[in-house]
Structure formats: structure tokens, C-alpha cells
Structure 1
Amino acid sequence: MATIKAPNEKYNGTSAGVGFINGVGKTDDPWLITIFNENGYTVIEDEEEQKNGDDREALKASLDNLGVEYAKNAKTETLQKLLDDNNKQEGE
């Protein structure tokens, strides 16, 4: 979950489906987070989300090194399963 701070800290309303109260809203939609970030909003990502993002990038790097193909938008759990499956195959 990310906290989104609007440029107008007194803003109360809805933007892109995200409700804001006193300029603060929350979303877990990666696309919306990117849109808000690119349009002057301050985005504060939850530490757990950042950790998961780091884990996801590490998994992607491992799969790339092994030459395993995956969807760019694959979930972290899917990437982990691909890596685990590849490691099982190599161990056989």
C-alpha cells in the first residue's frame, strides 16, 4: 500500500478512483502509483512493499541469469515458483 500526497494538502475528493482527505490518499495499484508519481504527487511506499519490490527484482535477475522466460508483469509468487521449478529440474 502506498500513501499518496496531493500537491494541494487541503484537497478533499477523488482522483483516478483514489479518495483523498486533506490531500492524502492510499492505493496499492502500481499503475496509479506511477501516474500519481509522474504528475507531481508525493508517493510514500510501505516498507513491506519496497522489500517485496526488491525481492521481485532479485528474482527477475536470477531468472534472467538462468535464461528462464517470464511475463514482465508476473507476480512475485509466480517468479519464485519459476525459480524453484528451475532449481528442481537442475537437481534431477
Structure 2
Amino acid sequence: MAKVYAPNKDYNGVTASVPFTNGVGFSSNPYLLDWFKEHGYKVEDGDSETTSETKADISQLSYEELKSLAKDRGVDGYHKMKKEELLDALKDSE
């Protein structure tokens, strides 16, 4: 999973199906990561171990953003999960 930094640090929204909170989003899609790089976003490879800062960022996402992230990560049954269940499933998928 790679961390994507929007040019606007305060950006909250969805770009190219990736939810951003305070200018930070997450994706493992190589095509999207290349697209972000080409469009001025900073992409930090997520091949290294997830830090507690990254986990904190995920817990701050909205329910809809968590569902989008779960979909990107291929979490089964994400659309039926509550927020806490999504957080646990996403942490397990790392």
C-alpha cells in the first residue's frame, strides 16, 4: 500500500477513486500511483512496514472512505461492515 500526498495538504475528497483526508490517500493500484505521480502528487511506496502514523490516518477516514479503501484492497464483504469492522479488516489486509 502506498501513501499518496495531494498537492493541497488540506484536500478532503475523492480523486481517481482514492479517498483523501487532509491531503493524504492510500492506494496499491500501480496504474493510479503512476497517474498521481504524473499529476504532481507525491507517492510514498508502502512496501515497508505500516507505521502507527499510517494506522492513525486510516482511523480518521470517514465510513465511505473506509469502504472505498476496503474495495481497493479487495476486502470481502466490506459493504456490509460497520466502521469498526472495516478498520479491523483493513488493518488485517496490510
TM-score (norm 1): 0.51
Q: Which has the greater radius of gyration?
A: 1
Q: Quote the residue 1:44 is aligned against.
A: 44
Structure 1: gaps spanning 5 or more residues: 49-92
Higher relative contact order (CA 8 A, sep 6+): 2
Q: How many residues align?
A: 49
Structure 2: gaps spanning 5 or more residues: 49-94
Q: State how 1:19-30 maps to structure 2 within 5 Å.
A: 19-30=19-30
Counterpart of 2:24 in structure 1: which amino acid?
V
After TM superposition, the runs of 4+ consecutive aligned structure 1 residues lying more than 3 A away are: none
Identity %: 46
Counterpart of 2:33 in structure 1: which amino acid?
I
Distance in 1 separating the partners of 2:46 and 2:22 = 20
Aligned-residue CA RMSD (Å): 1.5
